Structure 1
């Protein structure tokens, strides 16, 4: 077997960039090929399900990154909960390029993409809520308050990404992350 011309990490990053910029419907195979450095036939060889398989692989890759860099940190009860929260908010900033990036869930949840990836996107969002709820409980919030904070965290992250990108002001995203931290730390 010949070695692969491009590493999976680079391949997935290239495809993710296209899907984030153009959404599922707007991403053409030629765009994906150009972003990955592979020709169309090679992409189909690696992803027999075509564009859908590519998008599924990107979603899985992002989910794996989030599990490793966000959820596992939130669940690490060997660290003080304040430290976990601050570390995770920093990782969220990395994930979304300081507020300049587009959430892959948003990019793939438009039109046809929502039908194709609804289960994966819903599962991912539920995981965000579940993990942030656990942090709220670690901060000794009542369960319903912990859930409300977790849901609000997801809403603020997503809303801040859209707003920061459309207004071309990443400080909006940074400010939202600070508000999330303050809410959990009960700073007003």
Structure 2
């Protein structure tokens, strides 16, 4: 068997970038092939069900990264809640390259594609809320306060990514992460 010219992680990274930049509907198969360095036939060989399977694989790839980095940081009870929060916010910063990258949820929830990925996006957002809810509880917030803080954290992260991109000002994302930190730690 011949070795693969393009490794799976390179393919996933390229697909993530392609879908983040143009969304599901705006990204053609030709662009996906070009971004991965594969011919369309090779891409279809890896993803027989086409573009939707590629987007599902991207969502699974990002979910695993978020689980392994952001959620693992938030839920690591071997560290203090403050350290867990700070580590997780740093991983959020890394995930979005300091605000330069769009959220895949936004990219895949525009237009008709929202129906294709609705359940995965909803489940992903619920995981974000649940993880931040737990850190809120660990920091001494009431159940109601922890849940509201968790929802607000998701809103702030997602909203700041859009505004950061729209105004081309990375400081907005960084300021938002600091505000999230303060909202949990300065109570």
TM-score bracket, shorter-length normalisation? over 0.9
Question: In the alignment, which residue of structure 2 is the partner of 1:162?
Answer: 162
Question: In the alignment, which residue of structure 1 is the partner of 2:24?
Answer: 24
1:102 equivalent to 2:74? Answer no
Structure 2: tracts of 5 or more residues without a match: none
**Cα distance, 1:2 vs structure 2:** 2.2
Question: In the alignment, which residue of structure 2 is the partner of 1:14?
Answer: 14
Could you state the TM-score of these two structures normalised by the residue count of structure 1? 0.98
Question: In the alignment, which residue of structure 2 is the partner of 1:130?
Answer: 130
Q: Deviating runs (4+, > 6 A) in structure 1?
A: none
Structure 1: tracts of 5 or more residues without a match: none
Residues 1-188 of structure 1: matches in 2 within 5 Å? 1-186=1-186
**Cα distance, 1:112 vs structure 2:** 1.7
Q: CA RMSD in A?
A: 0.7
Question: What is the aligned length?
Answer: 187
Q: Distance in 2 between matches of 1:18 and 1:54?
A: 11
Q: Deviations over 1:13-59 (max 9, x none)?
A: 10111100000000001100111000000000000110000000001
Could you state the TM-score of these two structures normalised by the residue count of structure 2? 0.99
